[in-house]
Amino acid sequence: MSPEHSLEGDSQHLHPLQRSWKHIILRILGILVAVGLIALAYIYLLEPYMGSIEGFVKSLGSWGPLAFIGIFFICTFLFLPESIFSIAAGTLFGLWMGWVWVVLAGFITALGVFWFVRLCIRDRINRMIKRHPKAYAVEEAMGQSGFKILFLLRLAPVNYSLLNYMGAVSPCRFKPFMLACIGMIPGNFSGVYMGYVARHTSDLARHIHEHGRSLPQGDSMVREITIYGGLIVAIVASVVVARVALKAIHKETLHQKALKEQEDLSPALEA
């Protein structure tokens, strides 16, 4: 038997738990590469303009966060990725306030999309979703499970804007729809943390370039390890939570499908 076949056989006979952790590790490595690319893009593409952008945001005063929320609302309403704005919030407002503004913007946008869809375009979108069996199955599960399935979808790596529209089209009521938005908070934190670390890395690199190898005054190696270690922990937690959520979603949709089939068969059995 050739070495290639031996390796393939070994990978196929891995214990499910081993395969699971292998996929998790590969995803984490992929995300870390993405974070590195984000940091490089920030340093070489955005950093030269950050002074002007920061100055503009500061000139707005208390209107700065409101302007950010307004831009977030318009852009994610039009299906631009929410993660872009999470990263931007981390660079502009820092870790904690950036997280606050992203979460607030996410809830406000979900509220706006819900009522816009319910009042204006619900039937049209529903007809579009029915053409796609998998999406329609998820929509039906939303209506039957309400908060549970929506919350799991918010935890999973599913497009934020798409979930807003699908949740609004589904029979899910307003209260569980809004409560399920809590599920997006961990993902928001990871995105904001990426932006915060990218900004921190840029500032640190500039300081070292200008002043040599010494860390900035008030900084320490322990703090640097904490910052970058925290990023790794946030990424690992997001990947694990997303994986668990996807498995739970699959299980729930199968359960709802089985219940529906049973309901459809009941009249025939009674007859």
CA pseudo-torsion sign 158, 162, 164, 170: negative
Mean pLDDT of 69-77: 93
The per-residue pLDDT of the chain, averaged, comes to 79
Q: pLDDT exceeding 70 applies to what percent of the chain?
A: 76
How many residues does this entry show for the chain? Answer: 271
Express each pLDDT in 145-189 by its tens digit.
Answer: 678 888 988 988 788 898 899 889 888 899 999 999 999 999 899
Express each pLDDT in 94-147 by its tens digit.
Answer: 999 999 999 999 999 999 999 999 999 988 888 888 787 777 777 777 767 678
Express each pLDDT in 180-211 by its tens digit.
Answer: 999 999 989 988 998 898 888 877 877 777 77
Q: What is the pLDDT of residue 67?
A: 92
* DSSP label of 131: T
Helices 16-41 and 221-270 pack at an angle, to 10 degrees, of 130
Mean pLDDT of 86-101: 92
CB-based contact 196:96 (threshold 8 Å): no
Q: Measuring CA to CA, how many Å separate 218 from each of 208, 214, 215, 222, 224?
A: 14, 11, 8, 11, 11
Residue 237 — pLDDT band, cuts 50, 70, 90?
Answer: confident
103-136 residues labelled b (16+ CB within 10 A) or e (exposed): bebbeebbbbbbeebeeeeeeebeeebeeeeeee
pTM of the model: 0.76
> Residue 17: is its pLDDT beyond 50?
no
CA within 13 Å, CB half, 71: 14
Q: What is the pLDDT of residue 8?
A: 43
Residue type, 155: L
145's CB contacts (< 8 A; 6+ apart) are 252, 256
Q: What is the pLDDT of residue 136?
A: 72
> Residue 6: is its pLDDT beyond 60?
no
Higher-pLDDT residue of 183 and 245 is: 183
Residue type, 100: V
Q: What is the pLDDT of residue 193?
A: 92
If DSSP codes are grouped into helix, strand and coil, which group holds residue 95? Answer: helix
